[in-house]
Amino acid sequence: MASDFEARDDDGTTAGPSPYPVDEIAAAWQRERPGTPVSSIGIVTPIWRLAKLLGDDRRRVLQRAGVDIATLDLLSVLRRSGPPYTLSTRELGRRSMVTAGAVSQRVARAEREGLVTRRPGEGRPRSVLVELTPAGHDLVESTVDQVLGREAELLQALGPAQQEQLAGLLRILLQDVQHRLGDDRITQVGGD
């Protein structure tokens, strides 16, 4: 039986390993520009491609669930905060890793849909508190397992130990790149 990385001829027989496009890219640059550093291609290109594939798949799952990525992110941050599921807009921005303007847009949209309410905060002028409504709570509860279950399914090629190892390596790489770039903001791929 052919592996997932082997090509099949028209008659269904194995034609041998199919080339990994990332290796082809690195080899082409090496051939065309000998001495050009290509080692990053084997890491950065798959990360970009995975981000695109996973982002697109998450959008499809959420579309079927009737919610957009930004709204689910807002509701999830509130839900993970624990009872009473209320945070200031400043804290929402910090935890969502988006700008104050993006938080304002997300809150306004979710409020129109009856998923959150907002009220003035206490003690700080211009402070606004955002609270998850029962409808918002229900939407998170019905959606989060769909999203995380689907993503767990997509990672099944890696065993538990491999997933833990990859998560650790990605954590190291992300923190170092953030430090080198002086940028600890993270936004969703394709998000607002």
Predicted pLDDT of residue 118: 94
Judged against a pLDDT cut of 80, whether residue 163 lies above it is answered with yes
- What is the predicted pLDDT for the residue at 122? 82
Residue 180 · residue 90 · CB < 8 Å? no
Tell me the DSSP string of 108-124.
HHHHHTTSEEEEE-SSS
Q: Give dist(CA 85, CA 61) in Å, integer.
A: 24
Interior/surface letters 126-163, b for 16+ CB within 10 angstroms, e for the rest: eebbbebbeebeebbeebbeebeeeeeeeeeeeeeeee
Q: What digits encode the pLDDT tens for the residues 40-62?
A: 999 999 999 999 999 999 999 99
The string of pLDDT tens digits covering residues 87-111 is 999 999 989 888 889 999 999 999 9
- Is pLDDT of 4 > 90? no
Model-level pTM?
A: 0.76
Q: What is residue 187's predicted lDDT score, i.e. its pLDDT?
A: 55
**What's the number of CA atoms in the CB half-sphere (13 Å) around residue 172?**
5
